[in-house]
């Protein structure tokens, strides 16, 4: 399995019912992503890229088609099994960080470990380690509103990493950051990629997508193109 | 282990949420506080009432049987009229009981009448006059002499005009002087006061507003009765009460010449019957009282439910985040139920803290105290209120779609 497919989507469809109208957000999309890949998913708003991200992140279930993650069929799992998968296999990084405002950085990072059932001492150790790895060892007891945007996103990255997931799933990770801090986060992604993490970044910014190794473009619920990024230098 | 961790985390989160909305939490808790205070006080009052009733009927001891025409249970008018037509209990039947009862320690016939008693210019009205024998002192529970002595055997046989008076009569007629040796007039007949009874209590009629005279005097001077109102029988041993009752019934049936198939036309009453009535009455009071006070707790519960719905709506995004990083439905459900339960238990604890000094006030009127069972009940009730009122909001939170929840601003 080491170099097999981590993610295998087969004719995945997702329809929404909006009143009398049926919206085809995703139409029979098939896609494979291997372990260790760094993939950008691009597309204009309304293209279906968010739907695709939600499906890959197991936040949503497809209307039709199959999704295998790590060789396990997840497309027909129930709510609770999906929660377990999200907890263990997927690390989310959101555009708006989505940290709990009343909890400090350490507690935010501990959260996935709580749901995984880790003991208090173990949680603390692992969370501190994760925060150190994103360069926030001196900010562990700061609440989100006491941190800068870049620092908040680092906390979110630490939280995403803490359960050693198979995939890091970032949704417009630099969308709420200025160029400089955005670049810092992207540099952190490069580092994570180099360490062997699988990264999927959903973005509509060409610059951000260019940092990845593979760009999948979505348009009208279909894959419009799937290309390997040529490294310039 | 996971369950314990989740429980502990749920408590932490609940506490943080309660602290984050202090005013709202205080107001919501107030509803439960009021509910618990009223329910606790009502429970305490009912327990006190129960104790007061039991104390007041303690003069009817468990080992005394009362042979009468009517039984003590509640009855309809028709039944009443039927009982009134029953034959009297005659002195001959009383004699038969005295001869035949093997398990009795003491037997006393009693006649009742209401009369006016006067002394000089003072008078006591509505006094219950008991015509009886010296044996009443040994049958009736709680009859004790405060001053002087009781009627002697010779007096009850010979019928000397003497009387023993209750404390109410004594204070009414003799506010300043000692009553012993004085001659009072019952229906213009002179009776010498030879004793004063100790205080008995007045929950079921005023037992202190009475005067006891020898049966022979009662029947010669006051009235000319052919029967007695009651035969009091003290049983030798409490364990023999049922056997003694059966024996008495047998003697009475024979003395009244009842055919084998006929129903009893008399009753043998005992303490249990009073207890039954008392418990029925108190049970009704308790049910009605707790229902009404329970309503206030119910209103408090609705308040909690309301605020939990608000809390869930406000924290939709938080729920989304928690779900995205692996919180299961159960975890979210528990988190919000724990929050509701925490508010309720807090309210319950504060309510008990307020109710406790109030029960001390109640103690002035009733022999009430906050018992452990009431304490436990109050805590259990607030816990249940929390679980029930927290369930629906928590259920809504647990079933949220993570994608929708995360999109919520």
Quickly tell me which residue has 């610059």 as its tokens: A207
Domain that holds residue A43: 37-61+78-228
Tell if the CB–CB gap between A117 and B5 is shorter than 8 Å.
yes
Interval A77-103 mean pLDDT:
93
Residue range A8-31, pLDDT digits in tens: 999 999 998 888 899 999 999 999
For A51-63, the pLDDT digits (tens) are 999 999 999 999 9
pLDDT digits (tens, 9 = 90+) for B158-187: 778 999 999 889 988 998 889 999 999 998
Chain mean pLDDT for chain A: 92
Interchain CB distance below 8 Å, A87 and B16: no
Q: Taking chain B, what is the end-to-end CA distance rounded to the nearest angstrom?
A: 34
Does B234 contact A at CB distance below 8 Å? no
* B6, B321, B323 ranked by CB distance to A83: nearest: B323
Task: With respect to residue A100, please indicate whether it lies within any of the assigned structural domains.
Answer: yes
Residue A112 belongs to a domain: yes
Q: Which residues of A touch B323 (CB under 8 A)?
A: 59, 83, 86
Output the DSSP codes for A6-62: EEEEEEEEEEEEETTEEEEEEEEEEEEEETT-EEEEE--TTSSHHHHHHHHTTSS--
Q: Is A94 within the bounds of a domain?
A: yes
**Percent residues over pLDDT 90 in chain A:** 82
Q: What are the domain boundaries of chain B?
A: 2-56+276-407, 64-269
- Residues 6 or more apart from B201 whose CB is under 8 A from it? B55, B56, B59, B207, B208
CA nearest B19 in A: which residue?
A102
Which comes out higher in pLDDT, residue B323 or B225? B323
Residue B266 phi, psi dihedral angles, 5° rounding:
-155, 175
Which chain A residues contact residue B329 at CB under 8 A? 79-80, 83
A60 vs B contacts (CB less than 8 Å) = 401-403
pLDDT at position B59:
67
The stretch A174-186 carries a mean pLDDT of: 92
pLDDT value for B49: 84
Flag if A79 and B6 touch (Cβ within 8 Å): no
Q: Tokens at residue B66, please?
A: 């009362």
More confident residue, B226 or B288: B288
Q: What percent of chain B has pLDDT over 90?
A: 37
Residue A233 has a pLDDT of 53
Contacts of A119 in chain B (CB under 8 A): 1, 5
Residue identified by tokens 């919180």 is B327
The reply to whether ipTM tops 0.85 is: yes
Please indicate if any CB of chain A lies within 8 Å of the CB of B12: no
Per-residue pLDDT reduced to its tens digit, B240-263: 888 998 999 999 999 998 888 888
Contact check, Cβ <8 Å, B325/A111: yes
Asked whether the predicted pLDDT for residue B202 surpasses 70, the reply is no
Looking at the complex, report in whole angstroms how far the Cα of residue A233 sits from the nearest Cα belonging to chain B.
38
Q: Which of A80, A114, A119 sits opposite B9 (nearest CB)?
A: A114
Task: Please say if the pLDDT value at position B105 is more than 90.
Answer: no
- B375 — pLDDT class (breaks 50, 70, 90): confident
Does residue B265 belong to the interface with chain A, where contact is any CB pair within 8 Å?
A: no
Domain count along chain A? 1
Q: Where are the beta strands (DSSP E) in B210-348?
A: 210-214, 230-235, 267-269
A108-163 pLDDT, tens digit per residue, is 999 999 999 888 899 999 999 999 999 999 999 999 999 999 999 999 999 999 99
Residue among B2, B331, B403 minimizing CB distance to A59 = B403
In a domain, A219, yes or no: yes
In a domain, A141, yes or no: yes
Is the minimum CB–CB distance between A144 and chain B shorter than 8 Å? no
* CATH code (residue A153): 3.40.50.300
Per-residue pLDDT, A1: 43
**A115 in B contact zone (CB under 8 Å):** yes
Q: Does A95 contact B at CB distance below 8 Å?
A: no
The minimal CB distance from B325 to the residues A112, A117, A120 is found for: A112
Query: Which pLDDT band, with edges at 50, 70 and 90, does A105 fall under?
Result: very high
Position A107 pLDDT exceeds 70:
yes
- Report the distance separating Cα B266 and Cα B256, nearest Å: 9
Kind plus residue range of the DSSP H or E element containing B25: helix B22-56
Give strand pairing partners of B127: B115
């Amino acid at each position: 399995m080491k170099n097999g497919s981590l993610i295998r989507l087969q004719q995945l469809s997702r329809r929404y019912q909006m009143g009398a109208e049926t919206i085809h957000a995703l139409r029979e999309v098939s896609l494979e992503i291997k372990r260790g890949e760094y993939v950008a998913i691009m597309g204009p708003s309304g293209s279906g890229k968010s739907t695709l991200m939600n499906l890959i992140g197991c936040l949503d279930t497809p209307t039709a088609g199959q999704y295998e993650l790590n060789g396990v069929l997840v497309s027909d799992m129930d709510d609770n099994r999906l929660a377990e998968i999200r907890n263990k296999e997927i690390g989310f990084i959101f555009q708006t960080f989505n940290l709990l405002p009343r909890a400090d950085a350490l507690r935010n990072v501990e959260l996935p470990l709580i749901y995984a059932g880790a003991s208090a001492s173990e949680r603390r150790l692992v969370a501190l380690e994760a925060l150190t790895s994103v360069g926030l060892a001196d900010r562990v007891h700061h609440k989100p509103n006491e941190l800068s945007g870049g620092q908040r996103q680092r906390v979110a990255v630490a939280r995403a990493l803490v359960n050693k997931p198979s995939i890091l799933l970032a949704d417009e990770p630099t969308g709420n950051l200025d160029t400089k801090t955005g670049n810092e986060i992207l540099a952190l992604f490069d580092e994570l990629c180099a360490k062997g993490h699988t990264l999927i970044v959903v973005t509509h910014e060409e610059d951000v997508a260019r940092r990845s190794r593979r760009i999948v473009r979505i348009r009208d619920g279909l894959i419009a193109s799937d290309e390997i990024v040529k490294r310039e230098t | 282990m996971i369950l314990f961790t989740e429980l502990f985390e749920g408590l932490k989160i609940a506490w943080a949420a309660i602290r984050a909305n202090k005013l709202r939490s205080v107001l919501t808790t107030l509803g439960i506080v009021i509910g618990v205070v009223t329910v606790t006080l009502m429970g305490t009052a009912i327990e006190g009432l129960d104790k007061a009733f039991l104390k007041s009927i303690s003069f009817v001891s468990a080992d005394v049987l009362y042979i009468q025409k009517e039984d003590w249970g509640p009855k309809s008018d028709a039944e009443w009229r039927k009982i009134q037509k029953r034959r009297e209990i005659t002195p001959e039947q009383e004699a038969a009981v005295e001869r035949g009862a093997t398990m009795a320690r003491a037997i006393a016939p009693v006649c009742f009448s209401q009369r006016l008693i006067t002394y000089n210019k003072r008078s006591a009205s509505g006094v219950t006059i008991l015509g009886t024998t010296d044996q009443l002192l040994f049958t009736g529970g709680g009859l004790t002499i405060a001053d002087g002595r009781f009627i002697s055997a010779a007096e009850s046989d010979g019928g000397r005009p003497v009387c023993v008076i209750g404390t109410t009569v004594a204070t009414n007629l003799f506010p300043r002087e000692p009553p012993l040796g004085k001659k009072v007039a019952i229906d213009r007949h002179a009776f010498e006061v030879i004793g004063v009874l100790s205080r008995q209590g007045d929950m079921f009629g005023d037992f202190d507003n009475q005067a006891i005279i020898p049966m022979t005097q009662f029947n010669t001077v006051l009235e000319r009765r052919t029967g007695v109102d009651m035969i009091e029988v003290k049983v030798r041993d409490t364990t023999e009460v049922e056997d003694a009752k059966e024996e008495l019934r047998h003697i009475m049936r024979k003395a009244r010449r009842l055919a084998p198939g006929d129903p009893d036309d008399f009753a043998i009453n005992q303490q249990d019957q009073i207890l039954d009535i008392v418990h029925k009455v108190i049970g009704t009071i308790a049910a009605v009282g707790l229902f009404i006070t329970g309503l206030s707790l119910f209103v408090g519960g609705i308040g909690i439910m309301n605020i939990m719905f608000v809390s869930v709506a406000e924290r939709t995004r938080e729920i989304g985040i928690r779900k995205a990083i692996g919180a299961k439905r159960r975890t979210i459900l528990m988190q919000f139920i724990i929050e509701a339960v925490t508010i309720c238990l807090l309210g319950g604890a504060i309510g008990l803290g307020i109710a406790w000094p109030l029960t001390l006030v109640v103690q002035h009127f009733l022999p009430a105290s906050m018992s452990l069972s009431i304490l436990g009940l109050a805590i259990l009730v607030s816990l249940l209120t929390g679980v029930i009122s927290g369930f629906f909001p928590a259920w809504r939170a647990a079933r949220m779609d993570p994608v929708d929840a995360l999109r919520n601003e």
